[in-house]
Amino acid sequence: LVAVLIVVSAAAHAGQRAGRTRRGLTWADWSGSDQVPVHAKQVGSSDEEYYRNGIHFELYTVKNPDEPELLDIYSSELDFETVFDARRPTKVAVHGWLSDGLGLIQLRKAFLATSDVNYIAVNWTDIDTIVYPLARYHVSSIAQRVAFLLDFLRIMFGVPLSSVHVIGHSLGAHISGLAGSMVQWGRLGRITGLDPAGPLFLNDPTRRLDKNDAMFVDVIHTCANLLGYRDAIGHTDFYPNGGNCFQPGCALTDMTQGTCSHDRGYDFMEESIRGGIFTAFPCAGANSAPDFSQPDKNIVMGVSTPPSSRGSFCLYTNDASPFAMDQTKQLKVAANTSTTEPDEQFRARVYRTFMRRGTEYESLGRDMPDF
């Protein structure tokens, strides 16, 4: 069977619109809970062309590792030339909010350097926006197109969805989950969430990544309760270094920005693809330490996580590449480490930052995290 791996990095749904507008933004009510500003001009069921033109599917293989072939999944042509080969494992990557694409490049280079694969990058920068709540609103529509891509691979190339592995970072993790619930030609085999986004995502599993979205869902939390989602939402959830901001090797300023920690999941996944072994041990979840008393229950984190694994797992990592740390060193780190959860008022202050007007985001410039 062909293994199809879809990497998706970033978030939302549409609902009943409240009658309040401000500076060209409409406040949309998602079910009486959170409110998200929406550009009425850019969204709506009739805006199919907007999303078709704004989302691109870029195929890379060992034959074209740097210059992509653009896949037209909406074409009526049934006979077309392509370098896609269903006999190869397929990897698909989707960036997140305000992404510079570096995380997807990391994964692409790692996959193409270690195996002969199809690698599809989903590029939606043309509809990205500096206003985070609006980017979050687009997630449902982006997920619909990703689901269409998955069904396209099944229909056109015979790729079984049970062999598909979706990897999503931040907002992309939730895009992955929604896409998994939208596919029509089977059920996804696996979804991996790299620090799924926290702001503006509630507990309703139908609106975010959830373990019911694929046969196996694993999650790596690296900035829980700040930029990332704290709770265990997969079959298997990993909490490197307690899962909190900031991760080892990140600057002290990361406690307020989260950029480095939030993106660290890319580093861990890349290293695992290249052969790094991240040994993780059972734990209670976020802000907890590994339980080394059950060595027979440890598993590996990353691309080789066993689909049969269940529960929450913790581990310690180095502060630079190679990040993977063996058990002996992890035991030494544990003896000198205490996990500290961010202060509640501090988390609330960061959350409010993401609810400000879009013009205020511009002052943050390059310090904005990749959601």
| Active site residues per annotation | 170, 195, 262
Give Cα 325 distance to the centre of its chain: 24
Task: Tell which phi-psi region holds residue 128, choosing left (phi > 0), alpha (psi between -120 and 50) or beta.
Answer: beta
**CA separation for the pair 364, 168 (Å, rounded):** 24
The gap between the terminal CA atoms of the chain, to the nearest Å, is 32
DSSP state of 8: E
Residue 249 tokens read as 């090797």
The dihedrals phi and psi of 67, each to the nearest 5 degrees, come to -110, 115
Residue 208 tokens read as 């975010």
Q: In Å, what is the CA distance from 203 to each residue of 164, 194, 198, 232, 354?
A: 26, 18, 10, 11, 18
Contact 83, 64 (CB under 8 A): yes
Q: Nearest 5°: CA angle at 149, between 148 and 151? A: 65
